Structure 1
Amino acid sequence: MRKIVSFLIAAGIGAGVVLYNDKDFKSVLSELGLKDLFGQSTAASSGARPSGPDAQLSEKMQAFVNCNNRVNRAFRNNFESYAKLYEARDGGNVEDTPFVSMNHFSSFKVEVYEQNNEMSKQCADELDKAVAAQPVDADLDRVGRSYASTLRTLLPVVNDIDRYYAQKNYRDDAMKQGRALDAKLRPLMTKLAADGDEINRLLTERTAGLRDRELVAHEKARGRDADWHLQNTMIVARRAIEDIEKSATGKQPTLAEVKAIEAKLDAAYTAGVEYAKANPPADPARKPIWFFVEADVSRLVTAVKEVRRTLETDPASAKAISDINAAFSSYNSLVRNYNLRANLGG
């Protein structure tokens, strides 16, 4: 059974990115004896599956995608909340005042129901397996080993931090242990974040060509069907966000850049909508994924248009960056819905 290979979720200006699940779910459905999500037999849909080196690379990357989407983002977000709380506590604010409560840090858990760092440990274990798997990818393997090692070193530190703040021990020692734990935490988080950024960059590079080849193979095998329009739109959406992120690095994206991004995204969305209208699902109970994510794509198109409109009317305003981050948020919502539908089978 082939595992998921993913697209990237964007986290906002200055933040890391994550991946969307370009899942080879047809191989899973085939083993279950079901039809694929587009009402066709799995045999008819097999032409677009990755094969040879692409299949190996897709499977290898899955561990990196899983860690990136779940663990890396969680640690970044948790550290941001922790840093605000640490600053408040270290400034002598040891009471639960409204200011401190507003910046409340709960824990470094990946999910609230995590009991024993099982998600982080699974991430590190899966990275070890991926690094050992073919094909050899020197850069990806190197950063995978580093990320797994740093993560394992980090876990006992964040566990101590979680207990320290949960038990409010800073009220007993005037933040003495809190400062010591913080000194251990920050270099590890810096290393983890740097490795996470490198994983993001490498995955972006490798998945771009892979997805293009899969889309071409799909069109040859099945034409521009619902699956093709879905994947094409997801690819274009991802590149729209990447292009906005690149153009916004160190400067505001130009109106011309955003217009070009908008045109490509709107064209892909319009083509998908027109295909869906002309080809309604034979069984309303088994709609293609497109019908579930179409509204999310529409919201992303609208968000990108809002970026363009602000650049046309008030390019110097802070609203431009706010609109860009709103576009990132819209993309993330699209990705999460896509991932949910792909994993649940539509």
Structure 2
Amino acid sequence: MLTRHFVAGAACALALGLVSPLPALAQAPAPAPASAPAGEGDLQAAIAKSNAYTQLMNRTLRARESWQRYASWVDMKKGPTGKEMYISYGLYSLYDVTKEIQKAEQMAASEPKLPEIDAAMLRYIKAYQELAPLITKAERYYDRKDYRDDNMAEGQKLHTAMVPAAKTFLDERDKLDALMRVYKKGLDQRELAALEQREGRSARWQVRNVMIAARAVIDLMPSNQQPIVDLKAFDAATADYAKTVREMDAFKDKNPGASLMIESQAGTWLGKLRDFSDKLAKNKGDVRRGSAETANWIVRDYNMMISLADTAVRMQR
């Protein structure tokens, strides 16, 4: 059976100290069961495509972080002058994503065909490939302080090229991310149903069920772009998550020897979500009014649960 990581909401510390959760790295494929239920092959192909797309999105998140780093010290309208107080911040270097791009391009041409998502992925790759070389040049330029030799001539040239390229990249990423979130939700439910068909509501099913509900909460967490939380939706997602935690508790009570690994963290996380909701309610959902640090801790704890959940699933195979 091909499985996935439970979403690595790659949290990045932004200018406001908020979080921007994303779907996470996919885990390595596992052998399909000898007696896979009907339709299992289609599900595995869908998961493989999701994995490839998710891996690329995670690795290329670095480009957004690098651009935000740059934007934190540069006047975006005037461009760099060489006199900025925080010019030493420069930009972050990017990761090598050659293999991830090749894999995503292969998957875009493979079954299952997802016309809208596949096309969005190819546009995203193109946008990244136009921006990435510019960021790399700029990162080296500022790291080496080359602007001291040319009176910021290259810096201005790079800025002029990077601004439209970054806008296109960020726009394409937002579109792809929105499509992938919807796709992943449906895929999660298919995967959970297939798991239940194979082994019932087992320990592995319980872990998967909790983490799917946790991701639904993470998808509603604030970001620099959207600092105001939809409290009604957030509380509804938290209530759904609470139900999965209670179901896991009931399973644990009936199977005291079962190793779930996340039960303690899952319960503690629920308490933090409720405290966070209370804080947001006092500020009409605006995380900028004293809740940003709590938001970051929630995402960090979630990422820790992902690691534990992945270990639990591997141990239960």
TM interval, shorter chain, is 0.7 to 0.9
d(CA) in 2 for partners of 1:50, 1:231: 20
Matched, 1:64 2:48: no
Does structure 2 conserve the Cα–Cα contact (< 8 Å) formed by 1:303 and 1:330? Answer: no
1:36: which partner in 2?
none
2:22: which partner in 1?
18
Does structure 2 conserve the Cα–Cα contact (< 8 Å) formed by 1:5 and 1:61? Answer: no
SS class of match (2:40): coil
The alpha-carbon deviation at position 341 of structure 1 amounts to: 6.6
* Identity, % of aligned positions: 20
The alpha-carbon deviation at position 77 of structure 1 amounts to: 1.1
Seen in structure 2, the aligned counterparts of structure 1 residues 121 and 156 have a Cα distance that, compared at 3 Å, is same
1:306: which partner in 2?
275
Seen in structure 2, the aligned counterparts of structure 1 residues 172 and 296 have a Cα distance that, compared at 3 Å, is farther
RMSD across aligned C-alpha pairs, in angstroms? 3.7
Counterpart among 262, 267, 272 of residue 248 in structure 2? 272
Does structure 2 conserve the Cα–Cα contact (< 8 Å) formed by 1:8 and 1:204? Answer: no
Structure 1, unpaired ranges of 5+: 31-41, 111-118, 283-287
d(CA) in 1 for partners of 2:252, 2:5: 25
Does structure 2 conserve the Cα–Cα contact (< 8 Å) formed by 1:157 and 1:181? Answer: yes
Counterpart of 1:54 in structure 2: which amino acid? L
Counterpart of 2:306 in structure 1: which amino acid? V
Seen in structure 2, the aligned counterparts of structure 1 residues 91 and 19 have a Cα distance that, compared at 3 Å, is same
TM-score, length-normalised on structure 1? 0.74
Counterpart of 1:66 in structure 2: which amino acid? Q
1:164: which partner in 2?
141
The alpha-carbon deviation at position 171 of structure 1 amounts to: 1.2
TM-score, length-normalised on structure 2? 0.80
Seen in structure 2, the aligned counterparts of structure 1 residues 305 and 182 have a Cα distance that, compared at 3 Å, is same
Seen in structure 2, the aligned counterparts of structure 1 residues 240 and 159 have a Cα distance that, compared at 3 Å, is closer
Structure 2, unpaired ranges of 5+: none
d(CA) in 1 for partners of 2:295, 2:283: 14
Seen in structure 2, the aligned counterparts of structure 1 residues 86 and 298 have a Cα distance that, compared at 3 Å, is same
d(CA) in 1 for partners of 2:200, 2:212: 17
Seen in structure 2, the aligned counterparts of structure 1 residues 340 and 230 have a Cα distance that, compared at 3 Å, is closer
How many pairs align? 308
Counterpart among 295, 305, 308 of residue 334 in structure 1? 305
Does structure 1 conserve the Cα–Cα contact (< 8 Å) formed by 2:8 and 2:23? Answer: yes
The alpha-carbon deviation at position 5 of structure 1 amounts to: 7.0
2:94: which partner in 1?
109
Seen in structure 2, the aligned counterparts of structure 1 residues 244 and 16 have a Cα distance that, compared at 3 Å, is closer
SS class of match (1:301): helix
1:76: which partner in 2?
64
SS class of match (1:52): helix
SS class of match (2:23): strand
Structure with the higher helix share, 1 or 2: 1
Counterpart of 1:269 in structure 2: which amino acid? V
**1:83-107 alpha-carbon deviations (Å, 9 max, x no partner):** 224449925426xx6x555xx2353
Seen in structure 2, the aligned counterparts of structure 1 residues 278 and 232 have a Cα distance that, compared at 3 Å, is same
**1:273-326 alpha-carbon deviations (Å, 9 max, x no partner):** 4433543457xxxxx5x30x3444334313311122224555477135654454
| Greater mean deviation of Cα atoms: 186-195 or 307-316 | 307-316
SS class of match (2:72): helix
Does structure 2 conserve the Cα–Cα contact (< 8 Å) formed by 1:233 and 1:268? Answer: yes
